[in-house]
Amino acid sequence: MNRMGSLRIGAVAVVLAAMIAQAALGHGNVTPQVVDTRTLKPLGEEWLKTNPYSGDPEALRVGASGFNQNCARCHGLEAISGGIAPDLRKLDRDCVSLASEEKKQACFLEIDDYFQTTVRHGRTQNGVYKMPPFEGVLSQEAVWAIKTYLESRRVTDE
């Protein structure tokens, strides 16, 4: 092969590498999707500390779709994590095993509050986002609907 030929191959390789990098970046930057919560009871501006929709089948339906559109690319489809981000089916695993009903409820309340704070503010490490903040992107209704969905996905024994 002459010199021009190998130079050309080199250039193609560079362009290809750039395209692959772009595709990878594009994947990480999927635009968050607005969740349609019109079928749910409106919750107002003030953030609640506990899930007002727990066990509500409509919230579960809305939350399943909200989760798959906004969270699944990191936390896994149907909340089964591939390992990149925590498996959210186990978020309140420690609560579920508590024997005292009173302690269990207190534990769930704490997890609810932890959940909404984490989702609103996201997570950074050394100034870099590991999880984007969803405040202003997802409504309070959408966040609690997603929590309702996750409650239906609980696992305790894995």
Mutual angle of helices 101-121 and 140-152, in 10-degree steps: 130
CA dist 73 → 10, 25, 70, 81, 100 (Å): 33, 13, 7, 9, 36
**86 touches ligand HEC by CB under 6 A:** yes
Q: Is 49 in the site for ligand HEC (CB under 6 A)?
A: no
Beta carbon of residue 125, minimum distance to ligand HEC (angstroms, whole number): 6
Rounded to a whole number of angstroms, the minimum distance from the CB of residue 16 to ligand HEC is: 26
By C-beta, is 107 or 131 nearer to ligand HEC?
A: 131
Q: How many residues bind ligand HEC (CB under 6 A)?
A: 18
Contact criterion met (CB below 8 Å) for 50 and 113: yes
Which residues lie near ligand HEC (CB under 6 A)? 70-71, 73-75, 85-86, 88, 91, 115, 118-119, 123, 130-132, 134, 146
